[in-house]
Amino acid sequence: MISHDERDHLRVAITKASELIAPFWPMRTMIAQNPIHGLEYLPFDEAVRQGQQFLAGRGYLPNEEYRQFFHKGRIRFQDLQQALARVRPESEDQGIIKVGSRQVTVSDVWLSHLIFEFVALEPVLLPWELSEDGSTKRFRQDLPTDSRKRIIARTIEECEHCRDFPEKAYLINLWKSILAVLGFSSAAPGELSFSKSSDFPEEIHMALPAQQTLSDWVGKLAGVGLVEQINQQMIKWIAGFLDEGLAGWEMGLRESGFYSAWRELASRDHTGRFLGIQGFTKKVQALPLDPEEAIVWGLQRLGIHPTQWQAYISRLLSQLPGWTRYIRWLGEHPEYPAQKKYPIDPIQYLAMRLFYEVECTQVVCQQEWGIDGILPAVSGYWNARRDDYAIRMGKGLYSSDPTKQAICRDAWRLFHLAQCMEWSPIDVQGLSLLEGQKLLNWLDAFPPDQHGPVWLEAYEGGFRKDLLQKLFAHQGIVSPLDIRPKAQLVFCIDVRSESFRRHIEAQGPYETFGFAGFFGIPISHQGFDHEGWSDLCPVLLSPNHAVKELPRSGEEQSLQQYLTGTRWRQLGDHVFRDLKQNPLGSLMVIDVFGLFFSLGLVGKTLLLKPYRAVKAKIHRWFTFPVSTLIEVASSKASSDCQEEEVSLQEIPSGRARGFSTDERATFIENGLRAMGLTKNFGRLVVLCGHGSETDNNPYFGALDCGACGGNPGDANARVFASMANDPEVRHILKEKGLPIPDDTWFLPGKHNTTTDRVTFYDLEELPQSHQADIAALHQDLESAGAHQALERCQRIPSAPTKISPEKAFAHVAGRSGDWANPRPEWGLAGNAAFLIGRRKLTKGLDLGGRVFLHSYDPLADPEGAILEKIMTAPLIVGEWINTGYYFSGVDPWAYGSGSKVIHNVVGGVGVMLGSQSDLQMGFPLQTVNNGDIHYHEPMRLLAIIEHHPSVISSTIQKHQILQQLFHNQWLNLIALDPHTSEFHRYNPDASWEFLKVVVSN
């Protein structure tokens, strides 16, 4: 038994250790999110460094990639200068050094360091570099041509006899001058001066290295994959336990919970023998029944002091971050059906992991060194063998010649700095030893691993300038619509809606709005003939109301046909599944259905269009359509809906069924006022949710609506439209000063972002008087969709570009059903900005599908009450999406999910690489990259808000989450004053600075 104090201490340690492991949603409702979300209380740079320490993931692109952007012009020199001035590291050693006729500052040196990067040379390479083929005889490959020409011209001018070999003469003399300045040409080794940094081995401390578990340390010292061995055991058990119907044979005893089920079943598992664990069965049975007690036992057995529990648990959790992120999510969502039935949480995971940590470490230590696998024993053993330890840890392979070390570290870097700064040998000879050391100290103060923040700021700066120039030049161009619009369409703020809105507005006097795709109505929704419930709202919210999709009155015959067909289909699926998974039945399935499936394989691969047509026809034969509605009123459904035949679950606990009249009126009023739709209503107002249509795509949820929890948004659109068409709601709105014309009809729809077609719902309720309106709208939407498809084809790799809009329309439709296509659409890749403001700021502007557009009228919200709601919900969702793409872009193998080519779906909850791996966390390579090209440019989201800076500041001060995101630089913020049209940038210290926008000709 453990004491109450020990238990409390353990729980606090686990809670804090889990901060690094952000919850990860199931794949079917995949939510783009920050993989280090738990560290957003830290400044961005500090958080990504912690992420790299624990998760081995980069927080920035490699410096070399940023330099390529610089040489290609994507990052401009002016942007790099401004970025360095804004994000420069702290250095006490300032001042100016005169080199020849030039005055050199620390900023000059750092800029050159960014562009060229000066690093020490490995001592073993020095002889080759000093040979005829080395760098002391040839210019650096990345030295610009103009620099080479100027250096050669000056060399010839200063040394006439060097005309025949100016490059070689310059570099040889420069190298000699560098050695002379640093005192390497004549001083004895003991008299050498060194810069502050050192590559010499530090004093070896015989303690567990930072960010390592004991199994990490022992495995490295013994040269065995001990952590991988433990991971294999963990993955085997976790994947079996978390399966949601994909496995043929289910793991038993899951109802008792993960730890209890493993403890019972592992005692019959013979793999313990192959691991070398003596008495494996007895040891498992001897474990405490309580997982918390098992954790304490494991930590104490390893010799981990209680003050180190939190750090050690963090390392344990980060060894399989994908699985632990999902387990944490399950533990925080007890109402999730699988979690309710088969509970698991980080505590149970740690209890099992520590058992393998203890026993496998013990096995290796006994076999290799004859000691116990505990921290004191390992430390003591290697403390007596320090030389051998240094070699095994990679600290004993240094050159014993300090002169050579200093030349490779100091002279080599200064030699390349002088070359890139175009200093002549004569210039260098004029430097003193102190000045040479000062230059090296400047380089030491800004090592390459600190270049990322500056490069990122410059990368973002170029995009920011270009976007603000577009907005500035567009001011005053768009005139307000002075006639009644043909229709008004409300789209999700999703970046894919930006270009579609532009194309529909080009079809005529249409007015479009951007609003979060759940339309401000968080609901728990059960689709018709669906078993489970889906929360259709941002994951930051929790719905208080539940609605069901039910058959309409009068659909009894259609419903009966549907149910009959469904029962036969379910029977066929059940029989086929059982036969396929039965060892003997599977052989019969191959013989009986082999030809049939071969035809399907050929059809969906080589004859896609005919195959889809035949498949759709067969589907219509066996599926009978049923007209449905979503009942939003709080009254119970009428009995003639035959709800009991299709309702598979009761209303989730704690949620009211439907909405009262006052609640419906409030939701509609808030939504209309938030999007700025309060006057000049058209005859049709379309609430256009969005979803996707793909085949063989485990990441389908990532293409759906993030504001709807990774689900399509059509249900929310239907709920909003139903409420807005209610006469009682209209009456209440009129009394509140928001009259809606009697001939205005709210129509729900869904934009298929893969095919660019819009489908309407609940047309049964559409008045006859609006039939002509809907026909005209449908025609214009088809035209807009075709032009949108053509625009998308310009961005999709291998898609035809020189085709008509109609052919582009057909092409994207074909991509949606192509099971071999790893990139049916780009999704939200490319997202870079979030604009909150009036449509006149961007109407007609081609923003490249990179900007979230949220409609908002600052003049109607002078105090910022509506703005506060937008900043604390949709903007946060935008930040989650952006950081999810950002980290998948900068390190697709650590924070993303690698390549789709080697993906395998596991348990129906996620994907692994190959047959066994960690659960993959983010987006695959094909979602963010086109080969080696970053289609998604990894940048932090730029929020542009149309309001006075003081109002925005007031909103930020009210909410800690906004302070974290803006003050810690997870988000960049620009204010556009609606009265002066001036831009202001928000700084991490909560101040504002005026931005002068100059439009280039």
Backbone dihedral region for residue 945 (phi beyond 0: left; psi -120 to 50: alpha; all else: beta): beta
Q: How many CB atoms lie within 10 A of CB 633?
A: 17
492 is in an annotated binding site: yes
Distance CA 33, CA 40 (A): 12
Distance CA 742, CA 537 (A): 30
The CB-side HSE value for 546 (13 A sphere, CA atoms) comes to: 16
Contact between 259 and 377 under an 8 Å Cβ cutoff? The reply is no
Tell me, letter by letter, the H, E, C secondary structure of 336-349.
CHHHHHCCCCHHHH
**Residue 382's closest CA among 203, 206, 205?**
206
Rounded to the nearest 10 degrees, how much is the dihedral formed by the CA atoms of 952, 953, 955, 959? 140
Task: Report DSSP letters for 569-611, one per residue.
Answer: HHHHHHHHHHHHHSTTHHHHHHHHHHHHHHHHHHHHHH-HHHH
Strands 745-752 and 684-691 come out as parallel
Radius of gyration of the chain (CA): 33
Distance CA 320, CA 340 (A): 23
**If you search the block for the tokens 């344990």, which residue do you land on?**
316
Distance CA 337, CA 507 (A): 46
Strands 523-526 and 534-536 come out as antiparallel
* Length, in residues, of the chain: 1001
Distance CA 96, CA 414 (A): 17
**Residue 942's closest CA among 834, 848, 868, 861?**
834
**Residue 135's closest CA among 94, 180, 167, 92?**
167
494 is in an annotated binding site: yes
690 is in an annotated binding site: yes
Tell me, letter by letter, the H, E, C secondary structure of 684-721.
EEEEEEEECCCCCCCCHHHHCEHHHCCECCHHHHHHHH
- Burial of 782 (C-beta count, 10 Å sphere; 0-12/13-18/19+): middle
Distance CA 415, CA 15 (A): 51
Contact between 907 and 568 under an 8 Å Cβ cutoff? The reply is no
Contact between 35 and 880 under an 8 Å Cβ cutoff? The reply is no
CA 233 from chain center: how many Å?
28
Segments of 451-532 assigned E as strands: 487-492, 510-515, 523-526
Q: What are phi and psi of 746, to 5 degrees?
A: -90, 125
DSSP run (H or E) holding 161: none
Distance CA 642, CA 559 (A): 9
Q: What are phi and psi of 196, to 5 degrees?
A: -65, -35
CA 289 from chain center: how many Å?
38
Q: Looking at the DSSP assignment, which residues form a beta bridge with residue 534?
A: 525
Contact between 230 and 315 under an 8 Å Cβ cutoff? The reply is no
Q: Looking at the DSSP assignment, which residues form a beta bridge with residue 538?
A: none
Spatial neighbors of 754 by CB under 8 A, at least 6 apart, are 692, 693, 694, 703, 812, 815, 816, 824, 825
Q: What are phi and psi of 544, to 5 degrees?
A: -105, -5
Annotated binding site for Zn(2+): 492, 494, 690, 705
Task: Indicate the annotated binding residues.
Answer: 492, 494, 690, 705
